[in-house]
Amino acid sequence: MAVSKEVHYFTQQDLASQNFSYPEDSLVIHQRKVSNDVAPNLSFSLTSCKNWPIKVLDKNVEVLQITLNASTSYESRRTQPIPLDITEEVYQLTSMLFTYYDQKCFHYSVDKMIELLVDRLFVINEERLFMNQTFLELRHFMESHIDRTFNRGDFGKVLHMSPSTLDRLCQKHVRLSAQQLFREIKNTEAERMLKETSLPIKTISEKLGFKNSKHFSTVFKKMTGRSPAEIRKLSCW
C-alpha cells in the first residue's frame, strides 16, 4: 500500500510568494474550475523527478501535491510524470479534499481519506506503473552493464520475464526489441565518447563490450550511417 508523507495545497496566489517544486515520489493533482454549473476538471500524475518545476497556474487552477514514502516509488528514475486513470470514487474523494483545503474546513482529520485516495490510485494504475518500473529497471540494467554482451534470453532472466514478454514491453515503450534497445544504448554512449572524449576508438569499443574495433565500427556505421572515425572528426579532440 502506498503511504503518503505530507500534503501541500496551493494556488496561483501561493506561487507569487513562494518557490515550489515537486519533490521525488509525488502524486500531483490539478483541479481546474470551469464554472459554478460545471464540475471541475481533475488531472492526476505520478512524478519522482527531483525539483520538477510546477507549471505556472492560472487563477482557475488549484493543486494538491501528496509526497509519498520512498518505498512506494514505482519508477524512481523516470524523467516524465505518468498520467493516472481515475474512477468516480477517486473523483469524489479528491473533490472533497480540494474543498477541505480551499475552505480550511478541517472538522476532522483527513489523513485516512488521503491514504484511501492514494491507495485507490495505485490499485487502479497498478499495471501501468508496474510496466513503467519494469522498463526502467531493464534500462538501468543495460546502462549498468554496457560493457557486456547479452543474448535475447539474458535480459528476461534478470527481470524474471520471458523474452517475448520483455520484447513486448520494449515495443510498447520505444518500439524496439530488448536487443535493439541495448544496441541503441551502446550506440548513444559510443557517440558521446567519440565526441566528448579523446579515448582511442579501440578503447571505446572495449568499454562497450565489442569483440574488436572492426566489429564496433561495422555496427556503429550500420546504425548511424557514419563510421566512428567520421564522428570523431566532428568532436573537439
Q: Where are the domains of the chain?
A: 4-124, 129-233
Task: Determine contact, residues 65/8, Cβ cutoff 8 Å.
Answer: yes
Identify the pLDDT of residue 72. Answer: 45
pLDDT at 112 over 50: yes
Q: Which CATH architecture has domain 129-233?
A: Orthogonal Bundle (1.10)
Identify the pLDDT of residue 71. Answer: 45
Q: 104-139 burial, b for 16+ CB within 10 Å, e for fewer?
A: eeeeeebeeebeebbebbbebbeeebebbbbbbebb
Name the residue with cell 565526441.
195
Digit-coded pLDDT (tens) for 60-76: 888 888 888 754 444 44
pLDDT at 175 over 60: yes
What is the C-alpha separation between 46 and 125, in angstroms, rounded? Answer: 10
pTM of the full predicted structure? 0.53
What is the C-alpha separation between 46 and 122, in angstroms, rounded? Answer: 10
Identify the pLDDT of residue 237. Answer: 54
Q: State mean pLDDT over 160-164.
A: 89
pLDDT at 207 over 70: yes
Question: What contacts 193, CB < 8 A, 6 or more positions away?
Answer: 199, 204, 207
Identify the pLDDT of residue 3. Answer: 60
Q: State mean pLDDT over 78-82.
A: 62
- Considering the chain, what percentage of its residues have pLDDT values greater than 90? 32
Q: State mean pLDDT over 143-151.
A: 92
What is the C-alpha separation between 13 and 101, in angstroms, rounded? Answer: 14
User: Higher-confidence residue: 132 or 6?
Assistant: 6
